[in-house]
Amino acid sequence: MTTQTSVENYKSADKSEYILEVKNLVKRFPIKGGILGREVASVKAVNDVTFSIKRGETLGLVGESGCGKTTLGRSILRLIEPTSGQVMFDGVDVTKLGPKEMREMRRRMQLIFQDPYASLNPRMTIGAILNEPLEIHGLFMGKGEREKRLYQLLDYVQLPKDALNKYPHEFSGGQRQRICIARALAVEPDFIVCDEPVSALDVSVQAQVINLLMDLQKELKLTYLFIAHDLKVVEFISNRVAVMYLGNVVEVANSAEIYGHCRHPYTKALFSAIPNPDPTIKKERILLEGDIPSPMNPPPGCHFNPRCWQATEECRKSYPEVSSASATHQYRCSNPIQ
Query: Which of 2, 9, 172, 312 contacts another protein by CB under 8 A?
Result: 172
Query: Which of 211, 312, 323, 324 contacts another protein by CB under 8 A?
Result: 211
Cβ count within 10 A of residue 36 = 7
Query: Which of 29, 167, 236, 319 contacts another protein by CB under 8 A?
Result: 236
Query: Which of 81, 278, 284, 321 contacts another protein by CB under 8 A?
Result: 278
Q: Which of 55, 57, 59, 51 is nearest to 16 (CA)?
A: 55
Nearer to another protein, 266 or 331 (CB): 266
210 binds another protein (CB under 8 A): yes
Nearer to another protein, 31 or 274 (CB): 274
275 binds another protein (CB under 8 A): yes
* Window 180 to 209, contacts with another protein (CB under 8 A): 202-208
Query: Which of 127, 146, 229, 310 contacts another protein by CB under 8 A?
Result: 229
158 binds another protein (CB under 8 A): no
Query: Which of 93, 135, 155, 291 contacts another protein by CB under 8 A?
Result: 291
* Window 24 to 53, contacts with another protein (CB under 8 A): none
Nearer to another protein, 147 or 235 (CB): 235
Instruction: Output the CA–CA distances (angstroms, integers) from residue 303 to 62, 138, 307, in the order listed.
Output: 17, 47, 9
325 binds another protein (CB under 8 A): no
Nearer to another protein, 17 or 278 (CB): 278
Nearer to another protein, 111 or 237 (CB): 237
Nearer to another protein, 125 or 272 (CB): 272
54 binds another protein (CB under 8 A): no
The site for another protein (CB under 8 A) is made up of 64-65, 172, 174-175, 202-208, 210-211, 214-215, 229, 231-233, 235-237, 255-256, 259-260, 269-280, 285, 287-288, 290-292
